Amino acid sequence: MKRPRVLVLTLGGTISMTPAADGGLRPALGADALLQAVPGLGDVAEIAAESHLAKPGASLSFDDLAGTAARIRAAFAQGVEGVVVVQGTDTIEDTAFVLDLLAAGTGPVVVTGAMRPPGAAGADGPANLLAAVRVAASREARGCGVLVVLNDELHAARLVQKTHTSATSAFASPGFGPVGLVAEGRVRVVARLANVTSVPGLEGGNHAPVAQVSLGLGEDGRILPTLHGLGYRGVVIEAMGAGHVPGSAVEAIAFAASQMPVVLCTRVRGGPVFTATYGFPGSELDLLRLGVIPGGMLTASKARLLLSLLLGTPWRRAEIIQAFQDFADPCRATG
C-alpha cells in the first residue's frame, strides 16, 4: 500500500534541546535527528524532513510563522498529503492559531512538541511526533483545520490552551475537550468545529502592534490612554468573569476605544465573553456601548494575534468586527 507523503518542519523547542556547555537547555537537534528517535515512523508515512528554524517557542515571531505558512502552502501544492510542525510548547496554542489563519483549508496541518527534553527519563517527544505524523497522514484529519497533537490527544487550534508548566498532559481545550485521539495506532476524530475559511489578505502575515492588557481587582486602566502614543494600533483587554472590569477603568477604556479597536476577552479559561446580561458600570453591556468588540471564546492571546493580523490589512472596522464574529465562536460556520 502506498504511504501518504508527510512533510515535517522543525522550528526548535524543548523537543530539540540538549544541555549547553554553559548550562541550561538550548535548541540543538535538527529534523533528521528527531525523526531517527521515533521507531516505526517510516511505516506510517513517506517522510520529508526540514529543519526550518531552531528557536525556543517563546522567540518565534509573526515573520517566522508567515514563512512557515508559506512553506506549508507550497508543500501541499507540491503534492504532500499532510504537514507536521514541531516546535516549543510555550507558544503552541498561539502558533497553531496563526497557522490556522494563514494556511487554513490546505490539508491536515498538525503542530506538536514535547514537555520533556530528549535526554529526560520518559521523554515524550518521540511518541508525540509519531502521533502527529499519524494524524497528518490520516483521512480523518482532513477538514479539521490546524490541530495540536500531544499526549495522543487532538485539539483544535482555536480552543487549545497550555494548562500546566511541566505535565505531559499539559494541553487541554477548556469547556470542550479534545476533538479526537490516537489509540492502537488509529486516528479517531470525535468532533469537528464549524468550518473556517481564511480571511483574505492575511496570508502574507502582515501585522500591526496590538497591546494585551489584563485588568484585575482595583485596577483603573491608566495605561490604556498611553498606548496610541506608543505606536499601538489596537488593544485586547483581558477582563474578569464574563467580561467585566472595575468601574474605575471605564473612562480609560472609552478613551482607548475612541482611538483604536478594543477587543474584550476574559481571563476565565472556559466559556464566552457575555454580550447581553450584565449592565453595571464596567460590565460587558457597558463596555459594548463604548464600541468595544467582544472576543467570544478566544483567549486574550489569540484575540491579540487575530487583531494584529487584521490590522495589517486594509480592512475597515466593520470587517474586523465580522471577522471576530466568525473566528471567535467555534460553533459558527463561516465562508
Q: Which of 155, 189, 223 is the last residue of a domain?
A: 189
Instruction: Tell whether 168 and 252 lie within a shared domain.
Output: no
Instruction: Tell whether 44 and 112 lie within a shared domain.
Output: yes
Pairing between strand 46-55 and 5-12?
parallel
1-10, pLDDT tens digit by residue?
789 999 999 9
What DSSP character marks residue 104? Answer: T
Please say whether the beta carbons of 58 and 84 come within 8 A: no
333 in any annotated domain = no
**pTM here?**
0.95
205 in any annotated domain = no
b vs e for 62-96, b when ≥16 Cβ sit within 10 Å of the residue's Cβ?
Answer: bebbbebbebbbebbeeebbbbbbbbbbbbbbbbb
232 in any annotated domain = yes
Instruction: Tell whether 57 and 148 lie within a shared domain.
Output: yes
200 in any annotated domain = no
Residue pLDDT tens, the chain, 335 long: 789 999 999 999 999 999 998 899 999 999 999 999 999 999 999 999 999 999 999 999 999 999 999 999 999 999 999 999 999 999 999 999 999 999 877 799 999 999 999 999 999 999 999 999 999 999 999 999 999 999 999 999 999 999 999 999 999 999 999 999 999 999 999 999 876 555 667 888 999 999 999 999 999 999 999 999 999 999 999 999 999 999 999 999 999 999 999 999 999 999 999 999 999 999 999 999 999 999 999 999 999 999 999 999 988 899 899 889 887 667 654 44
Please name the helix (run of DSSP H) or strand (run of DSSP E) that holds residue 47, with its range, or none: strand 46-55
Which residue out of 10, 14, 266, 299 is catalytically annotated? 14
Instruction: Tell whether 146 and 275 lie within a shared domain.
Output: no
Instruction: Tell whether 42 and 167 lie within a shared domain.
Output: yes
71-114, pLDDT tens digit by residue?
999 999 999 999 999 999 999 999 999 999 998 777 999 999 99
Q: Which of 137, 157, 189 is the last residue of a domain?
A: 189
Instruction: Tell whether 9 and 136 lie within a shared domain.
Output: yes
Give the domain CATH number at 256: 3.40.50.40
Active site residue 14: yes
Pairing between strand 234-239 and 186-189?
unpaired
Instruction: Tell whether 81 and 176 lie within a shared domain.
Output: yes
- Indicate the residue type of 309: L
171 in any annotated domain = yes
| The three grid cell numbers given for residue 10, joined into one nine-digit string | 522543525
Helices (H), 40-107: 41-44, 62-77, 92-102
Instruction: Tell whether 173 and 255 lie within a shared domain.
Output: no
Give the domain CATH number at 140: 3.40.50.1170
Instruction: Tell whether 113 and 148 lie within a shared domain.
Output: yes
196 in any annotated domain = no
Instruction: Tell whether 49 and 152 lie within a shared domain.
Output: yes
Q: What is the DSSP string of 121-185?
A: TT--HHHHHHHHHHHHT-STTTTS-EEEEETTEEEETTT-EE--SS-TT-EE-TTT--SEEEETT
Query: 222 lies in which domain range?
Result: 210-328
Helix, strand, coil content of the chain in percent (nearest 5): 30, 20, 45
Contacts for 69 with CB less than 8 Å, ≥ 6 apart: 98, 99, 102, 103, 203, 205
Please say whether the beta carbons of 153 and 126 come within 8 A: no
What's the structural domain count of the chain?
2
Q: How many CB atoms lie under 10 A from the CB of residue 186?
A: 10
195 in any annotated domain = no
197 in any annotated domain = no
Instruction: Tell whether 81 and 113 lie within a shared domain.
Output: yes
Instruction: Tell whether 221 and 166 lie within a shared domain.
Output: no
